Amino acid sequence: MLLYSLGGLSLIVIFTFVWIAFSEDNSMTKEQEKIMKEVNEPIEQKEIKAVEEDGIPSERSFRQELHEMTHQKVQADKKRGSQQMTAEQIDRMLGILKSVEETENHYEHFDFYKESLEAWDIGDFSNAVTVHNTIWEWQNGVIGRATGLMSEEEEREYIKRNF
């Protein structure tokens, strides 16, 4: 009888450890949850500040960063590079655009970038597939065309895996 009790107790302990290990592994951290919520459900509009000249990337670098941000939102067979999409990141990129607007550093695709980021800044990511595929085409992409938006659960998994 004692042997059965110890065996049953052992199974309960093992099950508990396995359950805790898997449940913690499959969830995002509180910080990741907070960042995802801030991006998807913005509650306030902040003033966009211009960036100092030495903080202005080339258009190619800016475009690549924007492209990598879309990877958090879109379904695609292959994704190369990842940049976490945060409210601060979106604001920083809008600040870069403000800095280059109507200057000699004005980006060729300025209007496209601004329109895309302004939508994201208010929590509208319905354009993410278009943004991804437009930049992908500008880069002569061959594999990795976006086919749709991720579900919220797919996005959570992507964030957990990459950030």
- Give the whole-angstrom CA distance, residue 58 versus residue 16: 52
Q: Rounded CA gap, 98 and 144, in Å?
A: 31
pLDDT at 3: 55
Are 143 and 77 within 8 A, CB to CB?
A: yes
Which amino acid is located at 72 in the chain? Answer: Q
Beta bridge partners of 76: 146
Relative orientation angle of helices 128-138 and 110-121, to the nearest 10 degrees: 150
Read off the pTM: 0.75
Let me know: does 33 contact 51? Beta carbons within 8 Å.
no
The pLDDT tens digits of the residues spanning 40-93 come to 777 666 666 656 667 799 999 999 999 999 999 999 999 999 999 999 999 999
Beta bridge partners, 75, equal: 148
